[in-house]
Chain A
């Protein structure tokens, strides 16, 4: 038995895989004061559901796969260790200067962001290396010891070291690390060339500071998680989801917790990739996860999940940039709780403010009076007030109507139905723009991709989003309400290694590059025989980080070979770069050579015996759940059949208008669209003729 858990902001999701490969999905509330308790509670819900004791269930477990927002929450709330930063003399303000950049150029109400490590805890040490790895000025042990004495007196709890050009010559960082180990034992240290070996000192410093600041608590947290699981009877292996859409052993990730920043959301594209192929035979997909407050979009491009180093915690340019490679996820403030409002000029807006979980939408009856997307969906008849969260919560339709009427319908002189429909229309457009932003940056034409909808609120407007994108097909996996946990179940043990080594296509250093690739491959092999021992399948992929001469940003190109020995092989790399550049940016400069800045190897070890992801089937459920009145744009209020998601037969087709409901989600099939149940259990929806912009004309 294997367990995959994703601790989110509101719910802790659990997917259990039985020995025969069938899956079961469970949810329990997240317990922020002690997240492990929420994990154990969810395991209890599962044990109850599967009719066994929790101890018996855990005793059968081979693997526990954990996705957690614990690390990012610690950063957002400022509950990280008191961390110092050591930098090259003359460059005290790396973290404060950042990389410049600002958003909303006319807004002078937002002050300049504070650095992640205060200037008062940043220290300069003499010694300077250059881009060609030569030493301009030697490291100074005496000066370093002075700094260490100050660190001790300031009682720092973690130390980050980021020295210029350590990526080509780590000698000074290593020496500083040795001195710290000797003179400040017990205080965790992170070295930038190990944490994030990439040029751009700010990004490296940012990752290293975050990594160091998380070490004390994540060491403690992950150890306590493992201990408590063991105490409850678990004796298998515990692995943790990383920002790169892989998993690592808990003990290893505790020593490099920077990997945990996007633990959780990074898994949505892993399950999206599976369903896009299983249900629609497509290797390109857009995965949209709709939560209560945010809409998270990620991608699969020809089987690969694109990554980015520009990951922000908080708002871009105002929050904290991690500088660390992570699955590219675009988040916008659009979800079930997003608030609809009309400005003083009479224009409708939805979000970015959210009613959150408290007080929540007006229909929750918990004190909220503002109109939200959930209220609009309830007014339109898309949500069953008596069957929300499987009937755990009763919704107040009158309160929802009042909120929509007061805050949207009256100011816009619309009927309540029209107003509610407009709220969903504007929310849809916000989501569509988020998809355009990430797809244009990653060079994907949305109309050629399958749209995969996850999260409890995905079904409300995903067909409209698919219509706007011109998607070939919309897939709502049955397990979509736990997309990240499902992805974690399918994930592989991964690691990546990187080395900076500059060469250009016109003066390609074959020997130098081959030596780099050999070193990288050796590290991958060590991983395979170490953490990857006993895995079912192993893969190594080499990458070049390349650009046209004078370009500033690089793109990652998979290498066509694992060593370079002939000119033709170099030409093949150049051709692969041109193709990749055209794919992402729509242009190529075919006559130009290329420059390669760095080289990378990714290793993945498959740890799951079996592909596939079908939920266990319920016994004898009636698929017809009656009908109710729902409003559709351009049609008005019409009787709409309601069907039970889990009871639909494989291959059965549902024509719109219809609503397909489960305890976890409600999928609206508007007139013109039709849905078919796939063998995997997913609903595969054909969007039908586009009517998305009716309200515009």
Chain B
């Protein structure tokens, strides 16, 4: 279905020019933040986002950011800023990390700067958000899965707290953070980077308005939302309509979680005629006394990630296309709207990934060529937070590693992007260099690489597992991680098989190996190492439909054993590793 161009004449040109300009501003903010950030989580993991929100708190333009950060959240935070500070002035800036007021989770410090015109009127809000290396939790991790509530979690919570007035810092807030955050200089560096990014965004918005006028910008926002909505209508029109419910189970980490883990379900309805996609998350468990509960921002965003992973990727993501997605949430629901003092310490990953996976697999089950298999879960020890005291320098250190993740899902038209990290990150995260990590911290990376025969088999394969073995080079080392997916690995769709589950072990000094719990703060003694296996990703479509050339390639590259090729993909091998296409076709036809 193609709809007639909806917008009026000259707007097709204005849309192009102004959208380009606004995206350029968001990108300039993001480039500034990426380049100036101090902590690895920011500059390596790209765990940050920049965007522009209208005066009505509608998301207008974003820089390319990890999806879980930005689809919903900036809108909610801007709204709470206005609610708590009805009189906004030029030079104001607000620090926001409250999951009860629109932020994703407390580690995501956000700087909101209202853009004020010459008459003192609030026109836009520019938003810079960055995951911190530490946020003052009771233990040195920003992912505290075990926290039974926000008090045990311990993060300092800032619900849109004013941190600049007249373009000057309010030092009280800065001092509070410095007293409570373990790596105050890193935090301060990242804070400066966020201020720099937000102020650049503000300056550019003022300059753009000076050039084209505020009214033109407002008119553009209206047109662009309408345009984006039309694109979404057209994209939904190309999907097969229908309804499906899909579930995804988070492993059991603690006694406070149900036997068998937490099962998350999403009911998705694609109404092609009305061009609406509804995602109902209300039929899910209540909040639990753990740190895995979703914030409202993450619940909404995770549902939308599953949807946007399943429609034409060229549809712009903003408040206009969002009009065509209805996400139903419930209060006090683990995948809904949490109530204080529920802990949302780990809201951006674990349960959120189960939500997004449920949505995209539900869509896959509605029709061929739709949706996506499950992406792998996180956070394995190789992506955990390490801490300790360097015995040589006596300096304490804490930082998140990004040594080994994979998790990409098989897709309707392509094999997985291997290093997707998790569904909410979408692969934007960088992987660490072994040399850089060994230079920065007293650690030693013994091995890392893909594990053969761990892909989610399918017509299009899911990612393979990545194995990393590392430990302290001198002294001892603490590793904190929250590794979901050891029991419930990433599922395939439409006949595709599951990818490998996660695993983590400790190799003792004598060489023996013991299993480690899925969510823990582990102390490695000198000479010990942790063995971290990331989740693979689910496959899409039946393995016996996989192209012979692709299987041959996997065999040649050592990713696939001949035995698995024959058993799972139903190929016939001659001379050990060569696939015979004719015999294979006959064997596959006889299935």
Contact = CB atoms under 8 A, between A and B. Distances in A.
Partners in one complex: yes
Nearest to B24: A433
Contacts of B44: 552
Contact of B558 (A104, A108, A119, A347): A119
Contacts of B228: 345
B432 to A, nearest CB: 8
B15 A347 contact: yes
Interface in A152-204: 164-165, 167, 199-202
B313 A107 contact: yes
A109 B420 CA distance: 14
A441 B419 CA distance: 26
A83 to B, nearest CB: 15
Interface in A93-131: 93, 96-112, 118-120, 130-131
A695 B416 contact: no
Contacts of A695: 10, 13-14, 17
Nearest to B11: A346
B450 to A, nearest CB: 5
A550 B411 contact: no
Contacts of A249: none
Contact of A696 (B17, B24, B408): B17
B32 A437 contact: no
Interface stretch (B147-155, B422-430, B504-512): B422-430
B64 A103 contact: yes
Given A437-B31, A551-B38, A693-B211, A105 B428 contact: yes
A697 interface: yes
A380 to B, nearest CB: 15
Given A551-B43, A552-B40, A697-B213, A99 B435 contact: no
Contacts of B3: 344
Contact of A550 (B8, B67, B189): B189
A436 B433 contact: no
The bracket for how many chain A residues form the interface is 35 or more
Interface string B107-133: 000000000000000000000000000
A200 B13 contact: no
B463 to A, nearest CB: 8
Interface in A387-442: 411-414, 422, 425-426, 429-430, 432-433, 436-437, 440-441
A382 interface: no
Interface string B369-394: 00010000000000000000000000
Given A112-B419, A345-B5, A347-B16, A120 B557 contact: yes
Interface in A330-389: 342-349
Contacts of B38: 548, 550-551
Interface stretch (B239-247, B252-260, B440-448, B515-523): B440-448
A587 interface: yes
Contact of B433 (A120, A200, A414, A690): A200
Interface residues of B, number: 104
B417 A433 contact: no
B417 A102 contact: yes
A90 interface: yes
Given A105-B66, A345-B7, A97 B227 contact: no
B35 A585 contact: yes
A638 interface: no
A112 B557 contact: no
Given A110-B414, A696-B216, A199 B435 contact: yes
Main secondary structure of the interface of B (DSSP, over half): mixed
A595 B571 CA distance: 56
Interface in B217-241: 227-228, 230-231, 234
Contacts of A81: none
B353 interface: no
Nearest to B440: A550
Given A130-B438, A344-B234, A548-B38, A93 B449 contact: yes
Contacts of B16: 347-349, 426, 429
A105 B414 contact: no
Contacts of B227: 345-347
A552 B211 contact: no
A608 interface: no
A584 interface: yes
A105 B67 contact: yes
A662 B211 CA distance: 35
A589 interface: yes
B431 A550 contact: no
Interface in B52-93: 64-67
Contacts of A277: none
Contacts of B438: 130-131, 165
A82 to B, nearest CB: 14
Contacts of A202: 433
B212 interface: yes
A100 B313 contact: no
B300 to A, nearest CB: 16
A221 interface: no
Given A348-B13, A693-B212, 6 more contacts: A91-B447, A100-B419, A120-B558, A345-B227, A349-B16, A413-B8
Interface of A: 90-93, 96-112, 118-120, 130-131, 136, 164-165, 167, 199-202, 342-349, 411-414, 422, 425-426, 429-430, 432-433, 436-437, 440-441, 502, 548-553, 584-587, 589, 592, 597, 690, 693, 695-697
Interface of B: 2-3, 5-21, 23-24, 27-28, 31-32, 35-40, 43-44, 46, 64-67, 183, 185-186, 188-189, 192-193, 195-196, 200, 211-213, 216, 227-228, 230-231, 234, 308-309, 313-314, 317, 372, 399, 402, 408-409, 411-421, 426-431, 433-436, 438-440, 444, 446-450, 466, 469, 473, 556-559
Q: List 3 A-B pairs, minimum CB-CB distance, nearest first.
A: A346-B5, A105-B426, A102-B427
6 contacts: A101-B428, A106-B309, A118-B556, A426-B13, A585-B36, A585-B196
